[in-house]
Structure 1
Amino acid sequence: MTDTKNEQQWERTISFADGGTRLDKFWGRELADEGVSRGRVKAWIESGLAKVNGRVVDKGKYKLAAGEKTVIGAAEPEAGEGAPDPVRGRLDVLFEDAAMLMVCKPAGLTTHPAPGEPGPTLVNLLLHRWPDIAADKSGMDEQRPGIVHRLDKDTSGVMAVARTEAARLKLSADFAEHNVFKVYLALVHGVPTPAQGTVDAPMGRHPSQKTKMAVVDKGGREARSDYRVLWTGPRGLASLVAVRIHTGRTHQIRVHMAHIGHPLLGDAVYGPRESAEWERRPDLLAGLAPRQMLHAFYLSVFHPETGEPVTRWLPPPEDFCALLAGLPRECLRVGVVGMPGGGKSALMRFLGAMGRPCFSADECVAELYNPGGDGAAMINQRFGGAYTLEDGGVDKPGLFAAMRESDQVRREVNDMVHPMVRHRCEEFFKAHRDEPVAYAEVPLLLEGGWHKEGMVDLVAGVRCPADKRTGELRRLRNLPPEILAVFDSWQWPEKDKLAACDFVADNSAGLDHLEREAERLDAAALAALADRDRATEAWMDGLWPGLAGELDRERAGGEGPA
C-alpha cells in the first residue's frame, strides 16, 4: 500500500450524546487540548481532510449520527492505492457468523494501518481470510474495514470485528456508548492498595509529550477503570490485576495504573523508572517483560443482528504466562537452626560442597563488627566508644561481657544488629533467586520470628545429643562450659526449636552420617520446590476459567454486556 503522510491524524466514534453535533463543532471541541485551532479544523474539513465512515465530508455543518466513525487530520492516506492488501497470517477465531467475528489479536500486531506502522496489521490478515469485508464489497471504511474498537500494538487479546456495514454501525455505537463488557489482565509493579478499587480520573493528551496520554485536571474526557488484585508475587514484587474499563480511552489502563503508582511491567512509556530498574535485575525475570503486560481477557457484546450477548474469553499468551509463572519461581529459601555447638556449621559446609549457596549469620555479624562495618559504627555511636577498638572495630569480648551482664544491653545490640543481618540475608536470597535452593544459617531465626514473616520457605533444624554437644563438640571449639550455657540461655530450648522445624537433621553420629543428612535435607528441599512449582501450574490452569466464570456471573447480574 502507498500512503501520503504529513503530521497527525485523529479518529473518534460518535457517542449517543454527540449525535446531531456539527462536524466542525465536534472536532473543534475534541482538538482544543491538542493545540489545534478551530480555524485549522475548518481548513482541514474544507480541504477534504475529514471523513465520516470512510467518505470525505467537506462541509462543517454536516451533522454527525451516533455510531459514525469520523477521522480528521493531515496524516490520512490518500485514496486510490492506499487500500491495505490482504496478507496471509495466523488468526485464531473465537466466534464467527455472517455479521461479526471475535478474534485473538496477538501482541506485536497493529490493529489497522497507521502512519509509521508499515504492517502487516490485523486488517491485512482479516482481508485475506474474509475478503468480503473490503471496502469495495462491504461499503466500510477503506483503511479500517470491520474495526469497531482497537487494542494497542503490544496488547494481546479478544477483539470484535464487524463483517457488514450495518453490523459495524451497531457495534461501533455500542462501544461508543460503553454498552459492552471488557475486562483486561495486567501485571503491575508492586501491590495496589486497596486490593479492589476504582480509578475515576479524566484523561487527555499529555501537556508536553503529545504522543502520550495523561490524567489531566482540565479538559480531560471521562475515564473510569475498576481494578481487582487477583494475586501478588513474593514480597510484593508484582501483582496480577483484573481491570474492567467503563470507557475506552487511548492507553486507559496503562495511564490509570501508573496514576495510582503501579505501572504495568514492561511499560517503558508510562513506567520508565520501574521498567529500567526491572531490566537491571540480576535474575531471569529481567528478560521476561519485553512489552507492556496487558491482555484483553474477556469481551461481551450484543450481537448486531440478534441482540443476544456474544461473550468470549481467552487465556493470556505464552509471554504473559511465562512471566506470571516466573514471579513465584524463586529459589527455595531454607533457614538452618539448632543449638549452639550442635553441628549447624558442619552441615552448611556439606551443603556448600554440593554447590548450594550458603549464608552464615555469624560470619555476617563478624563482617559488620570489623573496622568500617555498619555494626561497628552503630555500636560506637550508641555506647560512646565503650566497646570500640582503636582500629574502629568492635571489642567483641568486652561487648559480650556487657551483654552477659545486662539484658538491656543485649536487647539494644540485637535491635541494632539483627535488622542488618536480615537485610544481608534478604540480599543473599535475592542474588541467588535463580538457584533451586539456597541455605541460610541463622541461630536466632525462630526467636526473631523470621519463619512467621515469610523470610524462609522451610526451616531445617539440627538435632544433637546434649552430651555430645556439651562435651566432644564443645571441646573441639575450645568453648568454656559457662560460655556455652550463656549462649543456650539466649535461645529457645532444643525441643521447642525442633518442634517448629519442617525438617530435622540428626547429628548423633559422625561426620559421614551428617553428610548423608545434608544430602537428605537437600533432597527434601528439592521435593518441596517441585511441589511448589506443581501447585503454581495447577493454580494457573484453574485461574482463567474460574475468573471467566466470575465475570459471567457479574455480567449476568447486570443483565447485559454493559
Structure 2
Amino acid sequence: MTEKIAFLSSGDEARIRLDLFLVENFPEYEFTRSQVGALIKNGHVLVDGKACLKPSYKVVSGQVVKLNVPVEKKYAPVPLKGEIKEVFENGSILVLDKQPGLSVHPAPSIDEPTLVNYLLEKYPQLRNSESDERPGIVHRLDKDTSGLMVVALDSNIREFLQNAFQDRLVNKKYLALIKGCPDKTEGEINLSLNRDHRNKTRMAVVKNGRSARTKYKIIYAGVDKKWSLVLVQILTGRTHQIRVHMSSLRHPVLGDNLYGGKIDSFWGYKKKLLQKLVKRQLLHSIELGFNLPHTDKYHLFFQAPPKDFQRVFFYLERHLQKVIITGSMGSGKSLVMFLLRELKYPVFMADECVNDLYQPGNDGWRMIKGRFGDRFIDGEDLPVNKLRLGAAVSRDRDILKELNHLIHPLVKHRLESFWLEHEDKRVAFAEIPLAAESGMDMDADVVAGIYCPDELRYSRLAEKRKLSRDQFVYLDENQMKQAEKLRNCQLIIDNSSDEVDLKKNVYSLTRVLRYLRSKIGRRADCRFKDLMQTNISSDL
C-alpha cells in the first residue's frame, strides 16, 4: 500500500463530495470517478481515521482524508499469435501499420490481446526486454487510431528512439476526416492540455496544462462543407492531442464519440449508413519520418489509410445523380417519364407541377390573378383556365414571355425541393421542357434530350391536343429549335418509332446512367489516391 494524506482547509469550499475531493487532490493518479468510487467502497479511504464507504460523503473543513492506494502488480504480457502488418524491419527497428481496434500494450482495463502480445510472439528477443509491460514500445497510438508506429527490437535502439521522440526529431503526420470545414484552410493550434477534471477519461484544453501544438491543412472539403479531409502534424505528443485540438475548433474527428464526433442528425439522410460505416474515430497515422539508428540517414515512411477510412470518404463524396429530361413539344417527354416511374425511379414532371400551381389559391394561381385579374380565372374556387390561357399565348408572344417569367421561378423552386427530397437516392429524373431556356439544366448532372421527327411530333399533338398546323408552327417557333436543344444534351433518347422501342431506349438510358455513376465512383478513388500523393509529403 502507498499512503497519501490530504485535508480540506478552511479556505476551501465548506463541503465537497469525497470522490470529487480525491480526484482533485491526487491528480498524479489520474483517477476516474468509477476508480475512486471502488477505492472508497473497498475501504481504502479513511476520514479522520475511520473508513468511509460512501463516495457521496461530504468532506468538511478541517477533516483529514487518508488514501491507501493499492500497489498494482506488474503485468507480464504473454506471447500470442496475431497479425502484424510490417512496413519496414532491419533487425533493430520495426515500422508497422497498426490496425484500428488494437490496443498497443496491456493495461488493467484491457482484457483482450494487444500489439505487445503479438510482438512478443513474432520477435522473441523482446521477451528479455527490461520493460516487462511495454517491450519495444517507444510511442503509442490510441486503440482506434490506425497507421504507422515504430517499435525498437533492440534495447539500445529503444533509448535512441525514445530520445528522438522526446527531442521532437520525429516527423509525425496524420490524416483525419473531420466534421465541417474550418474557416482557415491551414493553421496551427497552440492550446495546452490536461486531464478533464469532470471526466478523467478525457483530455481538455486547460489554461495551465501541458503545452501542445498541432498544425493542420485542409486537403479536400466536401461540396456541402459538412466534412473535410485534413492533414495534421503534431509538434508535441500529448494524449488525444489531435482529437482534442480539432474538437476545440468545433470540427471533431468523425466517429470520435468522446470529443463530439458522434454520428447524429447533423448528417441528415446519411446518418443511418454512416452509423454502420463509422465504427471508430477516423484518424490515421499516415507518415512517420526519423533518422535510422547507426546510419543517421533520414527515412520517411508512408502508409495509406485502411479500407474503412476510404469507404467513408467515398460515401461522403456520393451524391444524387440529377437527370433532366427535355425535348421539344410532342417529342414524348410525358411518356418517357411514365416509363421511368414504372421502373420505380423518383420523377418530377413540369406539367404536373404547373397544373398544381394553377389550382385555386396556389402560388401560380395568385401570380396570374395578380397580373391578369380574372381574364384567365373564372372564380375564386376554380383553377386557371388553361384552354383560355393557351389560346391567348398562341396569339400573343408577350403574354407567353410574361407567363414564363412568372411561372418558371416557381417551377425551379419546386424542382430544388424535389432534388432535396430525394437526395438519399442514387438517381432522380425531372422533365423540364424549357430546361436550357430557363437555366434549370445548370444544376443537373446529366441532361437527356428526346428526339422525335417534326412531322411525327405534329401528328401526335394534332391528335392529342387538337392543334392546327399553324398553332403547332407558332408554338414551336417560340421555343428553341429541336436540333439546338439536343446539342445541349449529353444523351439522346430516340422516339422516332413506337412505344415498344421507346421502352427499350429508356431502359438503355438507365443502364448508361448506372455506368456513369460507376465512373464517378472510380474517379473518387483516383481523387483519393491523388490527394495522398500530392499533399501528404508537403510541409504544413
Scaled to the shorter chain, the TM-score interval is 0.7 to 0.9
Residue 149 of structure 2 is aligned to residue 188 of structure 1: no
1:97 to 73, 90, 110: 90
Q: What 5-or-longer segments of structure 2 have no aligned partner?
A: 3-21, 32-66
Q: Hey, what does 1:16 align to over in structure 2?
A: none
Which stretch of the first structure deviates more once superposed, 316-325 or 216-225? 216-225
Residue 112 of structure 2 is aligned to residue 119 of structure 1: yes
2:86–2:94 contact (8 Å) kept in structure 1: yes
1:259 to 237, 241, 248: 248
Residue 129 of structure 2 is aligned to residue 138 of structure 1: yes
Aligned equivalents of 2:389, 2:271: Cα separation in 1:
38
Q: Hey, what does 1:519 align to over in structure 2?
A: 507
Residue 356 of structure 2 is aligned to residue 363 of structure 1: no
Residue 308 of structure 2 is aligned to residue 319 of structure 1: yes
1:129 to 122, 133, 142: 122
> Within 5 A, what are the aligned runs for 1:170-319?
170-194=160-184, 196-204=185-193, 205-206=195-196, 208-216=198-206, 219=209, 221-229=211-219, 231-233=220-222, 235-236=224-225, 238-272=227-261, 274-278=263-267, 281=270, 284-319=273-308
Q: CA deviation at 1:77?
A: 6.9
Aligned equivalents of 1:130, 1:144: Cα separation in 2:
13
1:157–1:316 contact (8 Å) kept in structure 2: yes
- Counting matched residue pairs gives 479
Q: CA deviation at 1:43?
A: 13
Q: CA deviation at 1:148?
A: 1.8
Q: CA deviation at 1:113?
A: 2.2
Q: Hey, what does 1:438 align to over in structure 2?
A: 428
TM-score, length-scaled by structure 1: 0.72
1:223–1:249 contact (8 Å) kept in structure 2: no
2:491 to 492, 499, 503: 503
Provide, for residues 167-219 of structure 1, a one-character-per-residue CA deviation record: whole Å limited to 9, x for no partner: 2333223223322112222223344444x301324042446444333445664
Provide, for residues 47-87 of structure 1, a one-character-per-residue CA deviation record: whole Å limited to 9, x for no partner: xxxxxxxxxxxxxxxxxxxxxxxxxx99997234x222222
The 1:112/1:450 distance shift into structure 2, 3 A limit, reads farther
Q: What 5-or-longer segments of structure 1 have no aligned partner?
A: 6-33, 45-72, 556-561
Q: CA deviation at 1:371?
A: 7.1
Residue 411 of structure 2 is aligned to residue 423 of structure 1: no
The 1:350/1:406 distance shift into structure 2, 3 A limit, reads closer
1:333 to 316, 322, 331: 322
Provide, for residues 326-381 of structure 1, a one-character-per-residue CA deviation record: whole Å limited to 9, x for no partner: 344555432211123321111122233344443324334545665797x4798699
2:326–2:449 contact (8 Å) kept in structure 1: yes
1:378–1:416 contact (8 Å) kept in structure 2: no
- Specify the SS of the correspondent of 1:281: helix
Aligned equivalents of 1:390, 1:258: Cα separation in 2:
60
Provide, for residues 453-507 of structure 1, a one-character-per-residue CA deviation record: whole Å limited to 9, x for no partner: xx33221011233333344225414568898788767754433321111111222
Report the RMSD for the aligned CA atoms in angstroms. Answer: 4.2
* 2:94 alignment partner AA: L
Q: Hey, what does 2:61 align to over in structure 1?
A: none
- Specify the SS of the correspondent of 1:211: strand
The 1:106/1:249 distance shift into structure 2, 3 A limit, reads same
1:404–1:410 contact (8 Å) kept in structure 2: no
- Specify the SS of the correspondent of 1:460: strand
Q: Hey, what does 2:339 align to over in structure 1?
A: 350
* 2:327 alignment partner AA: G
Q: CA deviation at 1:122?
A: 1.4
1:359–1:425 contact (8 Å) kept in structure 2: no
Q: CA deviation at 1:146?
A: 2.0
1:228–1:241 contact (8 Å) kept in structure 2: yes
Which one has the largest radius of gyration?
2
- Specify the SS of the correspondent of 1:516: helix
* 1:531 alignment partner AA: K
Aligned equivalents of 1:311, 1:119: Cα separation in 2:
32
* 1:299 alignment partner AA: L
Provide, for residues 372-413 of structure 1, a one-character-per-residue CA deviation record: whole Å limited to 9, x for no partner: 97x479869998998999888964759987996385675354
Aligned equivalents of 2:348, 2:335: Cα separation in 1:
13
Give the % identical residues: 33
Aligned equivalents of 1:338, 1:480: Cα separation in 2:
20
Residue 157 of structure 2 is aligned to residue 167 of structure 1: yes
